[in-house]
Amino acid sequence: MRLAATTLFLLIPLPVQAGYGSAYDIYPMQGDVFEVVAKTSPGDGTFWCGAGQHAIADLNRDATQRIYVARGRDASTAQPGRRSVVFSFTPPTPDPVQSQSISVDLVGNAMSAAQAQAHCYDRTIKD
């Protein structure tokens, strides 16, 4: 009986929270601007993951939607004591930023929603 119960338990799919999925909170701001607040380590990948997930999963934006850093890593306006990055779907500067970096400290740095969302899986692969 115990073997049957154990076998049945192992066959039932359970939800798994992978990567950075629960490592951030999203706070909509004015227009197409939103703040990503890190709950855990405020690494660049955490912020990009939150921005990509928000764009694709919450707002149903296309995977090719560009996401721009509107304000680099700084104190959160929504959660005092936490670090955050403000993102936008509109370039914050008239001149495009030419960067291959994932830095969230470079205002105007950008990537597609799909590229940003891919950072959600980065930690899972490394762990």
Report pLDDT digits (tens) over 51-67: 999 999 999 999 999 99
HSE-CB for 16 with a 13 A CA cutoff = 6
Residues 6+ apart with CB under 8 A from 106: 69, 72, 97, 99
Please choose, from the candidates 84, 85, 43, 42, the residue with its C-alpha nearest in 3D space to the C-alpha of residue 67.
Answer: 85
pLDDT of 16: 28
- Sequential pLDDT tens for the chain (127 residues): 554 444 433 333 322 233 445 788 999 999 999 999 988 777 899 899 999 999 999 999 999 999 999 999 999 999 999 999 999 999 987 887 888 899 999 999 999 999 999 988 865 544 3
Quickly list DSSP for 30-90: STTEEEEEESS---HHHHHHHHHHIIIIIT---TT-EEEEEEEEEE-SSSTTSEEEEEESS
pLDDT at 124: 53
Tracing tokens 């073997």 back to the chain, one arrives at: 3
Instruction: Retrieve residue 125's tokens.
Output: 């692969």
How is residue 122 written in tokens? Answer: 């980065």
Q: Could you give the CA distance from residue 48 to residue 43 in angstroms, rounded to a whole number?
A: 9
User: Which residues pair with residue 45 across a beta bridge?
Assistant: none
